[in-house]
Chain A
C-alpha cells in the first residue's frame, strides 16, 4: 500500500472513531451522569483505536528489512559461501534490484533462487504486517469501546495522551540533537585516528591534503586548526563590534525615544536586513565593500588584501544588526512601565533611566540576543567564502585575507570526495570543535547573565 493511501486510511479511521466514540458518549450522556464531555470520549477512543496499530505497523516496517535480509543471505547458493561481509552486502542489493527491475547481472542465474525467496518473503511480510495491525486495532478498539462508559473519565485519560504526545515531541527533538552530536563525534574520532588530536587543536598550519599514492607530489598534509579558529574569531569579533553597538543603540532609540509613527515603519525596515539572503551580502561584500576598503587603504598607504577579514566582518555585522536590535527592542519593551515611571518620578532623565533601570532589567534578554548573533556570526559561511578568501593565514590583522571554520568545511566537502579520507573526516572534526566552541560561549554567557541580572516581577 503506498504511504499516501495508508495515511488517508488512518485519517479516515481516526475521524470515524472519533465520531463513533462521541456518539456513544452522547447516547449515555442522556441517561446518566458522565465524567467528561463527549468530545473527550471520542478523542480518547480514536487514539486507542489507531495508536497501537500504528505502532505495530511502524515497528514491523523497521524490523522486517533486517529479518528478510538475514533470511535471504542464508538462502544464498553455496558458491557465495566464502564471500566477505562487504561482498554479501553487494549481493543482497543485487538481489533486491533483480527482484524489482529488469536489471541483469552476471550473477543473475545463480541468484535466481534467492530472488524468489526475497520476493515471497516480502509478500508474506506485507500480509503479516497488515493482518497484525488490523488485529491489534480490532482488539484495542474493542477494549476501548467497552471502556467508554458514563463512569469512565475520558477527560483525564485524554489529558494523559496529550502529555505523552508533548513528551514524545520533546524527546524526539532532544534525541535528534544527541544523535547529530554523536554522529559528528564518531566521525571526528575516526579523523583523530589518522591525525593526532593535539596536532589538530594546536597546529598552526592548515593545508588539508592527503596523498593517494606514496610518491605523489605535494603529498604532505597539515591539519592544524588554529588559523581557522583565529580567522573565525577575528571575523566574528569585527562583526560583533559593528552589530552590538549599532543594534543596541537603535533598539534603545526605537523603544524609548522614537515616536510611534516612526517606530511603525523603522522597525520593519530594520528587520528587512534579516531577510536579505546571505549570498547577496556575500557578493556585496566581495564586489562593493572589499574594493572600497582596498582603495581607502591605499589612500592611507596601507596594504589591504582584496579579500580581507575586515570587509567580511563589516558586512556580516550589518547582517546581524537586526538580530541584536529586534530582540533587544522586545526585551526593553517588556520592562514594566512602572519601573520607568518610578525613575522619572524621581527626576531621572531618559538616558539615566535607560542606563540605570532599563538596561540592567533587560540584560538577560539583551545578552541572549547578542549570543544568538554570535552564533550566527560564527556559523555564517557565504559572506566569508566570497569576501574573506580561502587562505588559512594565522593573523589577527583584519586587513589580510583569512578563512573560517565553516568555509573550510565547505571546501573540504565540495566536489567528489572519498568519505573515509582524512580530508573529508576533518570536516567532522572541525564541526565538533565549532560545536564545542559555541557551547562554551553559551555557558559563559549564561553565567554572566546570572551574575548581573536584576530580576523584576
Chain B
C-alpha cells in the first residue's frame, strides 16, 4: 500500500523543515531536535515493530520517520498535544488509514515479523488480529448480542449457535459487562449508557480474539466512574492482549501503561518506561508537556 508520493519534492521540503507553516502552533523550542527519538525504541520479543514510518495526508506529512517496538502483552500509551499524530500513528497499525482517501503510509509496520503493508497482506485477517476501540462509543444499531456476534459471524469463528452464545458470553464477561446486560441481550446496544457502550465495543473487539487491541482515546467521552471501569478492564486485558492506547489524560497513561511514547508535531520525541517518563523525562518537550506547560 506504500503508494508513491504525489509531489516528492514538496514532501522532502516538509521533512527538511519540521515547522510546517506560519499559521501552525510553533514548538516552544524551535531549535529542539525532534528528528531523533530519545529513549529505547527496541524491545526484546516485539509483537509489533515499526520502522521509518511516514504518513501523508495528500501533500501534508503527518508522521515523520517514527521507529517504535511494541512488546508482547504490554500496555503502551501514546501521549502528546492535539494534532501531534498519535491517533494517525495508531490507525497505521491495523491499516484503518486505508479508509481515508489521500492517506499514504510509507516505511514498514511488522506484526510478528510480517509487514502488514506488504501487497499480499489481506486487511481482513489483519484487522481480526489487530482490533480497535474508538474515541466515541460506536455500537451498531443492533441488539447487544448481535453487536458482539458481528465479528465472529463475519470470520466464521463459531461452528454452531451454542458456540456463538459462548463467544458472546465470554467476551461480555471479559469486558465486565455480562452481569449488567445478560438479561437484555436482545435490547439495542445503542440504548446502553456511554460507559456500557464503550465496554460493549471492547467486548465486540475481543470477540474475534485479536492479539493486539488499539484504543483511540477510549475514555474521552466518558465520565470518571465509567473511565475507572475501563481502566480496570485494560488492566485485566493486559494478560491476554497487547494494548496500544492513545490518551489525552496523563494520569490515565501513568495509571494503565507499562511504557509511554510522547509524540510532538508528528515526531516520536521520547519513549520509555512510564515511571521514568513521568518522573524523569529526558527531552525538554516531554518535560514541558507532562508538567503542563503546554498541551
Q: Nearest chain B CB to A227's CB is how many angstroms away? A: 44
Say whether A454 contacts B125, CB under 8 Å: no
Q: Nearest chain B CB to A81's CB is how many angstroms away? A: 77
**Which residues from A are CB-within-8-Å of B259?**
none
Say whether B96 contacts A341, CB under 8 Å: yes
Say whether B190 contacts A344, CB under 8 Å: no
**CA–CA, A400 to B142, complex, Å?**
46
**Which residues from A are CB-within-8-Å of B128?**
346-347
Say whether B134 contacts A347, CB under 8 Å: no
Say whether A260 contacts B101, CB under 8 Å: yes
Q: Does A71 contact B (CB under 8 A)?
A: no
Say whether B141 contacts A455, CB under 8 Å: yes
With CB as the reference atom, state the residue of chain A lying closest to B137.
A338
Say whether A345 contacts B136, CB under 8 Å: no
Partner of A344, one of B99, B125, B139: B99
Q: Nearest chain B CB to A253's CB is how many angstroms away? A: 16
Say whether B141 contacts A344, CB under 8 Å: no
**Which residues from B are CB-within-8-Å of A457?**
190
Say whether B141 contacts A456, CB under 8 Å: yes
Taking A338-B138, A357-B140, A455-B141 as contacts, is the C-beta distance between A343 and B150 under 8 angstroms? Answer: yes
Chain B positions 124 through 140: 1 when the CB is less than 8 Å from some CB of chain A, otherwise 0: 11111001101010111
Q: Nearest chain B CB to A415's CB is how many angstroms away? A: 55
Q: Does B204 contact A (CB under 8 A)?
A: yes
Interface centre among B101, B136, B154 (most CB of A within 10 A): B154
Q: Does A339 contact B (CB under 8 A)?
A: yes
Say whether B141 contacts A346, CB under 8 Å: no
**CA–CA, A360 to B189, complex, Å?**
14
Taking A338-B138, A356-B150 as contacts, is the C-beta distance between A345 and B127 under 8 angstroms? Answer: yes
Say whether A347 contacts B125, CB under 8 Å: yes
**Which residues from B are CB-within-8-Å of A352?**
154
**Which residues from A are CB-within-8-Å of B37?**
none
With CB as the reference atom, state the residue of chain B lying closest to A356.
B150
Say whether A346 contacts B205, CB under 8 Å: yes
Q: Nearest chain B CB to A455's CB is how many angstroms away? A: 6
Say whether B141 contacts A360, CB under 8 Å: yes
**CA–CA, A180 to B161, complex, Å?**
56
**CA–CA, A417 to B248, complex, Å?**
79
Say whether A259 contacts B101, CB under 8 Å: yes
Say whether A346 contacts B150, CB under 8 Å: yes
Q: Nearest chain B CB to A354's CB is how many angstroms away? A: 13
With CB as the reference atom, state the residue of chain B lying closest to A338.
B138
Q: Nearest chain A CB to B136's CB is how many angstroms away? A: 6
Say whether B151 contacts A456, CB under 8 Å: no
**Which residues from B are CB-within-8-Å of A345?**
94, 96, 127, 131-132, 134, 205
With CB as the reference atom, state the residue of chain A lying closest to B99.
A344
Say whether B99 contacts A343, CB under 8 Å: no
With CB as the reference atom, state the residue of chain A lying closest to B96.
A345
Q: Does B184 contact A (CB under 8 A)?
A: no
**CA–CA, A349 to B204, complex, Å?**
16
Number of interface residues of A (CB under 8 A): 24
Say whether B99 contacts A340, CB under 8 Å: yes
**CA–CA, A352 to B155, complex, Å?**
11
Q: Does B201 contact A (CB under 8 A)?
A: yes
Q: Does A361 contact B (CB under 8 A)?
A: yes
**CA–CA, A259 to B96, complex, Å?**
18
Q: Does B81 contact A (CB under 8 A)?
A: no
**Which residues from A are CB-within-8-Å of B20?**
none
**CA–CA, A155 to B250, complex, Å?**
48
Taking A342-B201, A346-B205 as contacts, is the C-beta distance between A454 and B142 under 8 angstroms? Answer: yes
Number of interface residues of B (CB under 8 A): 29
**CA–CA, A346 to B136, complex, Å?**
16
Segment 360-405 of A: residues with Cβ below 8 Å from B: 360-361
**Which residues from B are CB-within-8-Å of A336?**
138
With CB as the reference atom, state the residue of chain A lying closest to B207.
A346
Segment 300-349 of A: residues with Cβ below 8 Å from B: 336, 338-349
**CA–CA, A344 to B190, complex, Å?**
19
Segment 18-67 of B: residues with Cβ below 8 Å from A: none
With CB as the reference atom, state the residue of chain B lying closest to A348.
B154
**Which residues from A are CB-within-8-Å of B127?**
344-347
**CA–CA, A360 to B188, complex, Å?**
13
**Which residues from A are CB-within-8-Å of B150?**
343, 346, 348, 356
Say whether A454 contacts B204, CB under 8 Å: no
With CB as the reference atom, state the residue of chain B lying closest to A456.
B141
Q: Does B5 contact A (CB under 8 A)?
A: no
**Which residues from A are CB-within-8-Å of B190?**
455-457
**CA–CA, A369 to B201, complex, Å?**
32
**Which residues from A are CB-within-8-Å of B75?**
none
With CB as the reference atom, state the residue of chain B lying closest to A454.
B141
Q: Does B208 contact A (CB under 8 A)?
A: yes
Q: Does B84 contact A (CB under 8 A)?
A: no
Say whether A341 contacts B151, CB under 8 Å: no
Q: Does B123 contact A (CB under 8 A)?
A: yes
Taking A259-B101, A339-B140, A360-B141 as contacts, is the C-beta distance between A346 and B96 under 8 angstroms? Answer: no
Say whether B138 contacts A341, CB under 8 Å: yes
Say whether A346 contacts B208, CB under 8 Å: yes
**CA–CA, A426 to B44, complex, Å?**
88
With CB as the reference atom, state the residue of chain A lying closest to B151.
A346
Chain B positions 182 through 209: 1 when the CB is less than 8 Å from some CB of chain A, otherwise 0: 0000001010000000000100110010
Q: Nearest chain B CB to A123's CB is how many angstroms away? A: 70
Chain A positions 149 through 187: 1 when the CB is less than 8 Å from some CB of chain B, otherwise 0: 000000000000000000000000000000000000000
**Which residues from B are CB-within-8-Å of A356?**
150
**CA–CA, A340 to B188, complex, Å?**
18
Q: Nearest chain A CB to B208's CB is how many angstroms away? A: 6
Q: Which residues of B contact A (CB under 8 A)?
A: 94, 96, 99, 101, 123-128, 131-132, 134, 136, 138-142, 150-151, 154-155, 188, 190, 201, 204-205, 208
24 residue pairs from A and B, CB less than 8 Å apart = A259-B101, A338-B134, A338-B136, A339-B138, A339-B141, A340-B99, A341-B96, A341-B99, A341-B132, A342-B138, A342-B204, A345-B94, A345-B132, A346-B128, A346-B151, A347-B123, A347-B127, A347-B155, A349-B124, A454-B141, A454-B142, A455-B190, A456-B190, A457-B190
Given contacts A339-B141, A342-B134, A345-B94, 11 further A-B contacts (CB under 8 A): A259-B101, A339-B138, A344-B99, A345-B132, A345-B205, A346-B154, A346-B208, A347-B127, A349-B124, A454-B142, A456-B190
